[in-house]
Amino acid sequence: MSDAPGTSIAGAPVRREAAGAGLHAGLHTVERSADFLSEIVGEESRTGERMPAGPILKLMCNCAHAVAWRHSGRRPMLLGLDRLDLTRTVTHMGLVRFDGRLIEVGKSSMVIEVRCFTRRPTEQEYTPAHVGYIMMVAVDEHRKPVRDIPRLSYDSPQGREAKALAAHRKAQLEERRHALAWIESSEALNACDVREPDPIPRLYCLRPSETIVRVKSQIPAVGSPDGRVKGGDLMMMLDRVATYAARQFTRSNHVVTISVNDVLFRRPLYESDHIEMVARVSYVRTHSLEVSIDLVVHTLDGESYPLNPVEFFLLNYHRTGQKRPINVGLELDGAEAEDVRRYLKARTRFNFWKSHPESHLSLSHD
């Protein structure tokens, strides 16, 4: 893995054109907009300890942001991201590299593949860690989608690989949607029909409504002249809320996000907005659990609107790094109908993940 700036994912030179050159030229190659970020992450006082997922999610979004801006010439905003598995450990004071490239371009949207590599000070080579697909949309000064961004040419070595990746991504998205479609169409779900047997004995159980954590906050739009909140900052805050909810449930300080479900944001957020986040535990395994977060945005003019929920899957572990059983269970008897539906969706997602080992890099966390 090369450290030299100006190299692409495959190690081939990337042509660095002057800012603004060739904007709206009609057709750009994958190599033209490929970019990378590299950073030593975490805190010196915690060297060697496991990093939380939030800063990694932020850096992955920042990398995608840079690629989208290079391609479109416009300031992009986060539209969403595909399910992302973060099961490889990233440690404090480790060197992390993010390689980003476009794999698909729509009328105003762009899909960027971001590959994450890690290297500890004692290691000579990078180790592949995470792969994510992040969707960005180019917007103008009036906050409207730009419809005249350049198309993507697949007529290059990386272009042909990107085309195959785009087709594979679409197939995986469709599989995941199909796996959950029947749950949405089910009018009534009975707790006794959807609950699976507890894999281990629990000390006690809580209803999902008893696990709720409610946070209402603003996110500073650091470095954004129009006041828009960066997607990476939003994902980092959501990870913090999910982690707190999981720690409260497990009564453990050692909980970390290991995957994020498909996320789709349909509207930009601004630093003047108040974001209300309601997190609850929706599913519990032996060592891991899912936290679902409902989001409502409150604007200064009094408007309120919901965003799509975001689901985090987290691992409970011992301070030595080993997986640690969760001794608290989830009680569905007497739970609200929507909580039963959340449970079934989470259970279905987990079983889909288990049956598709090719979609992630590591062994199961349960």
For residue range 247-260, list pLDDT tens digits in order. 999 999 999 999 99
How large is the C-alpha radius of gyration of the chain? 21
- Is the pLDDT score of 127 beyond 90? yes
Averaged over 127-140, what is the pLDDT?
A: 92
Q: Are 153 and 28 in contact (CB under 8 A)?
A: yes
* E strand intervals along the chain: 27-29, 35-40, 76-81, 84-85, 95-105, 109-119, 127-138, 151-153, 204-206, 213-217, 255-260, 263-264, 274-284, 288-298, 304-316, 328-330
Question: Tokens for 66?
Answer: 């840079």
Residue-wise pLDDT tens digits, 331-366? 999 889 899 999 999 999 998 888 766 555 444 456
For residues 136, 185, 349, 110, the Cα torsion angle rounded to the nearest 10 degrees is -10
3-state helix, strand, coil in the chain (%, to 5): 30, 30, 40
* C-alpha to C-alpha distance for 154 and 166, rounded to whole angstroms: 11
pLDDT of 221 reads 74
* C-alpha to C-alpha distance for 321 and 317, rounded to whole angstroms: 6
Place of tokens 């989608």: 145
Averaged over 28-52, what is the pLDDT?
A: 94
pLDDT of 358 reads 56
At the fourth CATH level, the homologous superfamily of domain 193-359 is Hotdog Thioesterase (3.10.129.10)
Q: What percent of the chain has pLDDT over 90?
A: 65
- Is the pLDDT score of 146 beyond 50? yes
Enumerate the domain spans of the chain. Answer: 27-174, 193-359
- Is the pLDDT score of 208 beyond 60? yes
24 or 294, which is more confident: 294
Helix (H) or strand (E) holding 174, with range, is helix 157-185
Q: Quick check: do 27-174 and 193-359 share a fold?
A: yes
Considering the entire predicted model, what is its pTM?
A: 0.87
Q: Which CATH class is domain 27-174?
A: alpha beta
Averaged over 114-122, what is the pLDDT?
A: 94
Q: Are 66 and 5 in contact (CB under 8 A)?
A: no
For 274, left (φ over 0), alpha (ψ -120 to 50), or beta?
Answer: beta
pLDDT of 266 reads 77
* C-alpha to C-alpha distance for 228 and 244, rounded to whole angstroms: 26
DSSP letters, 6-40, are TB-TTS-B---PPTTTTTT-SEEEHHHH-EEEEEE
Averaged over 154-170, what is the pLDDT?
A: 94
- Is the pLDDT score of 313 beyond 90? yes
- Is the pLDDT score of 73 beyond 50? yes
pLDDT of 228 reads 83
- 203, with CB counted inside 10 A (0-12, 13-18, 19+), is exposed
CA angle 71, 73, 79 (to 5 degrees): 70
- Is the pLDDT score of 63 beyond 70? yes
Highest mean pLDDT among 6-10, 177-181, 343-347: 343-347
Helix axes 231-250, 53-72, angle to 10 degrees: 160
- Helix/strand/coil for 61: helix
**Average pLDDT value over all residues in the chain:** 87
Task: Kindly indicate the confidence band of residue 16, based on its pLDDT and cuts at 50, 70 and 90.
Answer: very low
Task: Kindly indicate the confidence band of residue 139, based on its pLDDT and cuts at 50, 70 and 90.
Answer: confident
**For residue 321, what are the contacts with CB-CB under 8 A and spacing of at least 6?**
50, 89
Averaged over 134-157, what is the pLDDT?
A: 89
Q: Are 234 and 269 in contact (CB under 8 A)?
A: yes
Averaged over 159-166, what is the pLDDT?
A: 95
pLDDT of 14 reads 39
pLDDT of 87 reads 77
- Is the pLDDT score of 152 beyond 90? yes
Averaged over 264-281, what is the pLDDT?
A: 91
pLDDT of 365 reads 56
63 or 193, which is more confident: 63
